[in-house]
Amino acid sequence: MEKVVLGLSGGVDSAVAASLLKEQGYDVYGLFLEMGLGGEQEAQKVADSVGIPLYIAHKKDELEKHVCSYFANEYKNARTPNPCVMCNPTVKFKTMADYADKIGAKYLATGHYARIRRDSQGRALLVQSKSAKDQTYMLNRLPREILERCIFPLGEAADKEEVRALAKQREIPSADKKDSMDVCFIPDGDWCGWLKLYGVDLPEGNFVDENGNILGRHKGIHQYTVGQRKGLGVSAKGRLFVHELRPETNEVVLSLNDVFKKEIMVRNINYCAPEYMENGAFNCQVRVRYSKRAENATVYPQGKDAKVVFENEVRAPAAGQSAVFYDKDIVIGGGFIE
């Protein structure tokens, strides 16, 4: 019986994943990441109901080092962070892999909506799930050596309702637990308040137009992102859009024109499937935010970076967000928009 380490949060997704793995004949070991946010008791209830042991790994310091500080610094520099994208390779899957190595487990599993396939040479490919809830965008920084060990039991699920139905059939206590929609370390959703407590309380400044004319006052550049059109509080003859953030002058540029770009630069790319870039430029589909929409583009690798040229202009690619490359449903890799 093969051992598998499962990231167990106490939510319905990881709970159903645990149950499915047991039914498939795996020897399942639950792993809860204790980060000073609570939740251990709920995870233990799920582990007990499914009948698996639960190991608690204290990783508050790692969350602070790799995720919280990054989150704060990105906003300080007028960029839009992706905390889950950073947490997965540096904290979550690293901790799972370390524990798996300790107990001699071959596999790692989570309740993510994603799939693993093998190419003709037997190499692991990260593949989109069947569900519209697909989460491969958030997994784009996992290296292939981690993907080689991954199992995603919910990858074939049609939707979240199917997963909840599976939980009710198995009398799992978290069957009706609501989804967490917020950043895990900011459970109340008040990220501006969190940033202030963290020491990132950026001052008010000027809204300006593209010619530098002052249009009003903003509440701090960390409260805005490129393409934003709501909550600006500035009257104009038409709808205004955030066109640019200027941290060096503490200005937020507004425009009556929406933001569209034909080219972007992407930095610090992780190639889940590095064979795609072995012969230089390649065609693919690119997602510039966590949504189902992907645009046709050509990627021109430049070392760890790349220039991405889209077939059609894309709306509001924001600095700091991830650009993730796909070959239909296969994840090629991804990096951070400059």
Q: Where exactly are the structural domains of the chain? A: 3-169, 202-255, 260-337
Q: Other CB atoms closer than 10 Å to residue 5's CB: what's the count?
A: 27
pLDDT more than 90, % of the chain:
85
CATH number at 202-255 = 2.30.30.280
Cα–chain-centroid distance for residue 182?
A: 12
> Could you confirm whether 284 is annotated as catalytic?
no
User: Cβ distance 116 to 124 under 8 Å?
Assistant: yes
- 3-169 and 202-255 have identical folds: no
Catalytic residue among 84, 87, 272, 284: 87
Catalytic residue among 68, 84, 150, 184: 184
**Tokens representing residue 321 in the block:** 């967000």
> Could you confirm whether 87 is annotated as catalytic?
yes
Q: Which CATH number fits domain 260-337: 3.40.50.1460, 2.40.30.10, 3.40.50.300, 3.40.50.1000?
A: 2.40.30.10
pLDDT at 293: 87
What residues contact residue 302 under an 8 Å CB cut-off, 6+ apart?
A: none
**Closest Cα to residue 7, out of 100, 82, 137?**
100
Own/partner contacts of 280-283, CB < 8 Å, gap of 24 or more, are 282/332
pLDDT for 157-204, tens place per residue? 988 899 999 888 988 887 777 776 668 899 888 989 999 999 998 999
Q: Is 241's pLDDT higher than 80?
A: yes
Q: Which CATH number fits domain 3-169: 3.30.1310.10, 3.40.50.620, 3.90.800.10, 3.40.50.12780?
A: 3.40.50.620
Mean pLDDT, range 197-219, rounded to an integer = 95
User: Cβ distance 1 to 27 under 8 Å?
Assistant: yes
Distance, in Å, from the CA atom of 128 to the CA atom of 254, rounded to the nearest integer, reads 36
